[in-house]
Amino acid sequence: MSLKTDYKDAMYDGQRRYRLIPNEDGTYSLPDETNYTQKGDKFGANDINSTNEAVNQLIHVTEVTLTVSEWKGSSAPYYQTVTVEDATKDSEAIVLSALEDGATATAQKAYSKAFGLVVSGTASLGTGTATFKVYKKPATDIKIGLKGV
C-alpha cells in the first residue's frame, strides 16, 4: 500500500475571510472567501484510516514455527516454507525472537543456536507464505516472530 506523501497546506496572505449569509431558517452560512496563494489538500477519514492501517501492519508480529522435520533439501541451503496469512511478495518483515519468557537456561541456549542459524540464512515472503533458507539445519523446532506482516 502506498500512502499519499505530497499533502500541501493552504497558504494565504493576511487573515482568512468568510462571508456571513443569512439563511431562511435564521441560521447563517459561512462560505470561505479567503484569497489563497496555494490551495491545501483535504485530509479525511480515508486518509487517517489508511495511515493507521499501515502503522498497525508495521507493528504487528506474526509468530511462525519452523520445525526440524520440515527442512527440505539434501544439501545446503536447506529450505522451509511456512504459511503467513497476511504476507505478500512486497511485504517487508523483521525477524524477532519469540523465546518464551521464563525459559530455562538450557532452552535459551538451544533457542539461541537455532535462532542464529535461521537469521544467518535468508528469507523471502510470497503471497501467504514465508520461505526460509539455512546453511545448517537447526537441531530444534523454533518459533520466531515476523514484525510487519
Dihedral sign for Cα atoms in the order 139, 82, 93, 149: negative
Query: What does the alpha-carbon distance between residue 88 and residue 130 come to, in Å, rounded to a whole number?
Result: 9
Q: What's the CA gap between 114 and 110, in Å, rounded?
A: 6
| pLDDT tens digit sequence for 2-34 | 889 999 999 999 999 999 999 999 999 999 999
Taking the CA atoms of the chain, what radius of gyration do you get in angstroms? 27
Give the pLDDT score at 54: 86
Single-letter amino acid, residue 91: S
Cα 40 from Cα 55, distance rounded (Å): 24
Q: How far apart, in whole angstroms, are the C-alpha atoms of residue 145 and residue 99?
A: 9
pLDDT on residue 114:
98
Q: In this predicted structure, what is the pLDDT of residue 3? A: 86
